[in-house]
Amino acid sequence: MSTDLSASLLQNLKACRTLPSVPAVVVQVLDLCQDPDIGTARLAKAISRDPALVAKILRVANSAWCGVRREVTTLDQAVNLLGLNGAMSLALSFSLVRGLQQSGGAFDHQMYWRRSVIAATATRSVGAFIKAADHDELFLAGLLQDIGMLVLNQAVPAYGSLEASADGSHTVLVDLERAQFQADHAQVGAWFLKKWGLPDRLIAAVSGSHEPGGVGDTLTKSVALGSRIADIWIQSDTATATASVAETAKAILDLSSNQVGRILAMTAVALPEVTQNLDITVGDEAFISGLLDRAREALAEFNLRALQEARDFAVQAQRDALTSLYNRAYLNQVLDEHFELSRNAGEPFTLVFLDIDKFKSINDTYGHQGGDAVLLSVSRSLRASTRDQDIIARFGGDEFVVLLAGADVSIGARIAERIRSTIERQPLKTDDGRCIQVTVSIGWATMSSNSSYRASAEVLETADRSLYVAKTAGRNRVVQAFH
């Protein structure tokens, strides 16, 4: 997404004198980021000027976050363990949280930080799951992705009310921002972080967090998914939020619902420790565990719904769009199955092939709308005159085929005649009161234990030849031509 902002919004931002300022230790760390020859000792020295930050870095170094087996007792050891990028990312994360926390006004600062911490933790979990590098950079990017909200809250007096009107929905908030500012807080956040001098990768991840498709890198996609995972813990509608997570994970990272479930579990396990390190309350372990259970239930429901939709799609792909009868492709499939069953087990079946008499004349007289009405009328008659186990298909145009399962010659003859007479007795009335007399010509063929057919296509060809005989003999009749 572009970080270009409208002139009016940019003017408000530049005129604001209360925009969040960069904490002193962050300035030092950012300066070190620009030095290609930075070493761990110099970074440790910069961090050591902030005792509270030192304590947090040591606590992280000795936590499950790093998985060390022996105690880390000095800042130098901690920085060496975390690595330069990891130590800088954590130092920035902890300092920014402490320096930017505020309260008061309509803007819900507590909810903002709760969401930011969950999103950061989830982003790091996504990165760990997909084996992305620099997990701590992922955490920092996730933590900063909504910083534009803090900026807008300072620059736009009514922003707190706008945020409150979104009722906890991040998606709704983004839509409201775009409607009012022609930009959202991701774009504002990217502008602000660029002003602060943060690395381009972080700026790009924040800028693209709401639209991670296209050329977005792993960092941007992980941040975007982490943001949606946070909605599971923040929004009241857990099921909808979980479905959005599953869909986003599949679309941008090709993750299955089961893999998403593992990422949710990783996030829930990490949250208590992360919130302790940042001194931000998200909820106790029982609260987080309960929400994880709800998310897992929602994922299971999502999977069942997706499976049902896939089944419905598969069924729809077997149906004719106009009549909802089976289509030719499905008929060919079941015809092959019944042919093999008949050849191997002696189970008979009959194929009834029919088309509508003088259908072109009907179309010419009543138009395609009238022709479609006739096709639908014949479809209803076919359903009324056949059995539940029979397969009715629209073969193409005004041609239909009925596969009569288990029907021998005598049963086939009776049903074929019943189809013809049912259609003849039910003329179609048009909307303007005219009556369309509809008849069909029918040919049929039976496959039984003593048949010499070598393939299912031969049965169909025989029924088709029978249909031709019926039409040339005067139409509106049933003919069986033997193989």
Residues 390-404: tens digit of each pLDDT:
999 999 999 999 999
Higher pLDDT, residue 154 or 56 = 154
CA-closest candidate to residue 262, choices 114, 130, 116, 143: 130
Whole-number pLDDT of residue 59: 77
- Would you state the CATH architecture of domain 7-311? Orthogonal Bundle (1.10)
Could you report the per-residue pLDDT of 155-194, keeping only the tens digit for each? 888 898 999 898 888 889 999 999 999 999 999 999 988 8
Among the ranges 63-77, 82-96, 157-171, 287-301, which has the highest mean pLDDT value? Answer: 157-171
Domain-by-domain residue ranges, the chain?
7-311, 328-480
Rounded to the nearest integer, the mean pLDDT of the chain is 84
Higher pLDDT, residue 95 or 452 = 452
Q: How confident is the model at residue 479 (pLDDT cuts 50, 70, 90)?
A: very high
Q: How confident is the model at residue 216 (pLDDT cuts 50, 70, 90)?
A: low
| Calpha distance 320→357 (Å, rounded) | 21
Number of helices (H), then strands (E), belonging to the chain: the values are 20, 7
Dihedral, CA of residue 413, residue 418, residue 419 and residue 425, to nearest 10: 150
Do residues 141 and 205 make contact, with C-beta atoms less than 8 angstroms apart? yes
Do residues 22 and 198 make contact, with C-beta atoms less than 8 angstroms apart? no
The rounded Cα 86 to chain-centroid distance in angstroms is 33
Our CA angle for 477, 478, 483, nearest 5°, is 140
The mean per-residue pLDDT over the stretch 112-119 comes to 86
Q: How confident is the model at residue 96 (pLDDT cuts 50, 70, 90)?
A: low
How far, in Å, are 22, 35, 445 from residue 202 at the CA level? 16, 17, 72
The H or E element spanning position 470 is helix 456-472
The H or E element spanning position 34 is none
Helix %, strand %, coil % of the chain (to 5): 65, 10, 30
Residue 42: what residue type?
A: R
Higher pLDDT, residue 49 or 12 = 12
CATH of domain 328-480: 3.30.70.270
Do residues 215 and 252 make contact, with C-beta atoms less than 8 angstroms apart? no
* pTM of this prediction exceeds 0.75: no
Dihedral, CA of residue 49, residue 50, residue 55 and residue 58, to nearest 10: -50
Higher pLDDT, residue 211 or 424 = 424
Among the ranges 22-31, 415-424, 443-452, which has the highest mean pLDDT value? Answer: 415-424
